[in-house]
Amino acid sequence: MENTTTTISSDFIRTIISEDAKSNKNNGKVATRFPPEPNGFLHIGHAKSICLNFGIAKEFGGTCNLRFDDTNPSKENVEYVESIKKDVKWLGFDWEDRMFYASDYFERIYQYAVELIKRGKAYVCDLTQEQIREYRGTLTEPGKDSPYRNRTIQENIDLFERMKKGEFPDGSHVLRAKIDMASPNLVMRDPVIYRIKHEYHHRTKNEWSIYPMYDFAHCLSDSIEGITHSICTLEFEINRPLYDWTLDTLEVKCHPKQIEFARLNLSYTVLSKRKLIELVDANHVKGWDDPRMPTIAGLRRRGFTPESIRNFCQRIGVAKRDSLVDLQLLEYCIREDLNRIAKRVMAVIKPVRVVIVDYPENQVEDMEAINNPEDPSMGTRKVPFSKILYLEKDDFQENPPKKWFRLAPNQEVRLRYAYYITCREVIKDEETGEIIELRCTHDPETRGGGSKDGRKVKGTLHWVSAQHALKSEVRLYENLFLKSESNELDNDLNPKSIEIIKDCYVEQSLANSKIGDLYQFERQGYFCVDHDSKEDNLVFNRTVTLKDTWAKIEKSQK
């Protein structure tokens, strides 16, 4: 995997790990894991975790496992497993032969539960869900012991075995760790570690009627895999005592160190799985890979590169304080990458017909255009020029404001790689007053876009030749949400998050573009070919606009 940024990032997690490595803890080995639950698509927040876990493993010469935390069959399925694998790979990371599932360990985890019972540290409880809640107490009051807390070991073993055999209905019994109902940490008040679920599991099928809870399965899975550092997000900090209690009580050989960091929040979007699922289910977006989604699949379809996302993850850093990262940083990262690699091309999104009145009727000239000024090795291409063109409607104003460099009556501008032209006449629809055609003259001495007399032309406009251009569809995206934070699906969705424009014209050379190809439409932004694109109807997604200094000037003039 290439990485052009060589900055050595040092965050508190890397500091801890490097100290452990130096003191030869775990024999100097470093083993991490990325443990998604396959109940949704990965998003940019997961990318932060992926970059962290795989990144650390690589930096310390260790390993990072991919492990599906599939302990709840009611929420998980294979579609999500496949999407997660695809996304991690696409981001540029490799778990080699280390792809695991918590469900791989169900038998061992079960045996650990039996062991816990034998050590007098777990019991089968018959309280209902509501009763368990009541017995748990509150934040300020201690809980009270379950009447089933002191069953004999034999009784517990028998009951737990019958739970496993499927003799009891869902919800009738649970296995609980016997810890301390008065603990100020609610997680430690005899947490449920196994529940009955007569449910089909996407991997173990109908083999199990009981499934371990996260707190029990996760630490043991880590331990089984020989993980040295178990990195998770802040909300699990409160679960750490239970993580440690379980491994200590069972006296396992491998006891990983859990370290928590702050999850990513990004402005103008949502990153909670609940809200993301809701967006998809309520059809606010067209699926998990809708280009407006902050999912890896959405970003990929939008035109983001893995490199730009990795770079973003490096720039945001890792710490323990809650934060809200500015979406503009993500945009900066993708512009930075695309500026380097995207082929320049001309496309007119909102066209106005322009006739060069003094240009020969049937003449066509091939103008030479540079493919990428940042990378001369990308070469040049020919762009056909002729008498009738399309220009961007917004590049003309009849009564231009101050500092307007673009086309206006009697104002000369340069057509990129072509000629200087001057607008002589504005043709309007007699009824609507809408501008339907601009008539311009050109200076034949300026072929290619330069003049011998050194005369200055302030504006340079993109254009396409009407008879050569390809009619195509462009989808413009804006932020999915209106507010920088705390967005709710009911009121805060941006109604203008997508604008589909069907009558766009792109230059001829785009005819053989392929799905996923990335371009810069000069002066407008970066675009990629969507997978809805067909040979006779090209579809482009706008990844991000170019920085627009004029828009700022215009805004400040108002």
Partner RNA sequence: UGGGGCGUCGUCAAGCGGUAAGACACAGGAUUUUGGUUCCUGCAUUCGGAGGUUCGAAUCCUCCCGCCCCAGCCA
Catalytic residues: 37, 263, 273
Number of Cβ within a 10 Å radius of residue 199: 13
Check if the beta carbon of residue 533 is closer than 8 Å to that of residue 539: yes
Written as one letter, the residue type at 97 is D
What is the smallest separation between the CB atom of 558 and RNA, expressed in angstroms? 13
* Closer of 29 and 448 to RNA (Cβ): 448
Smaller CB separation from RNA, 423 or 498: 423
Provide, rounded to whole angstroms, the least separation between the CB of residue 494 and RNA. 19
What the block records as the tokens of 232 is 């998770």
Shortest CA distance to 175 belongs to which of 134, 216, 143, 208?
A: 216
Outline where DSSP puts E strands in 149-252: 174-177, 192-196, 210-212, 229-233
Q: What is the dihedral of CA 41, 47, 50, 51, to 10 degrees?
A: 160
Strands 63-68, 31-34: pairing kind = parallel
93 and 64 Cβ atoms separated by less than 8 Å: yes
Residue among 109, 105, 135, 103 at smallest CA distance from 122: 109
Q: Least distance in Å: CB of 402 to RNA?
A: 9
Q: Of the two residues 314 and 498, which places its CB atom closer to RNA in the complex?
A: 314
- How far is Cα 48 from Cα 112, in angstroms, rounded to an integer? 32
Least Cβ distance, residue 158 to RNA (angstroms)? 19
Q: What is the largest CA-CA distance in the chain?
A: 101
Closer to RNA by CB, 487 or 498: give it: 487
Which residues in 345-358 are b (16+ Cβ under 10 Å) and which e?
bbbbbebbbbbbee
CB 377 within 8 A of CB 461: no
Of the pair 120, 171, the CB lying nearest RNA is at: 171
Q: What's the min distance (Å) between Cβ of 500 and RNA?
A: 23
b/e string for 62-100 if b means 16 or more Cβ within 10 A?
bbbbbbbbbbbbeebeeebbebbbebbebbbbebeeeeb
Smallest distance, RNA to C-beta of residue 181, A: 12
HSE of 387, CA atoms in CB hemisphere, 13 A: 7
User: 247 or 383, CB closer to RNA?
Assistant: 383
Give the Å distances, CA to CA, from 550 to 140, 389, 471, 496: 58, 24, 27, 22
- Least distance from RNA to the Cβ atom of residue 252, Å: 20
We find the least distance from the C-beta atom of residue 485 to RNA, in angstroms, to be 9
- β-pair partners for 212: 194
CB-based contacts of 70, cutoff 8 Å, min separation 6: 37, 38, 76, 81, 101, 102, 103, 201, 202, 203
The Cα 332–Cα 318 span in angstroms is 19
**In terms of CB distance, is 189 or 255 closer to RNA?**
189
CB 541 to RNA: min, Å: 18
Q: What is the DSSP string of 518-538?
A: EEEETTTEEEEE-TT-BTTBE
Minimum CB distance to RNA smaller for 432 or for 549:
549
Q: Specify the residue, 31 or 345, whose C-beta has the smaller distance to RNA.
A: 345
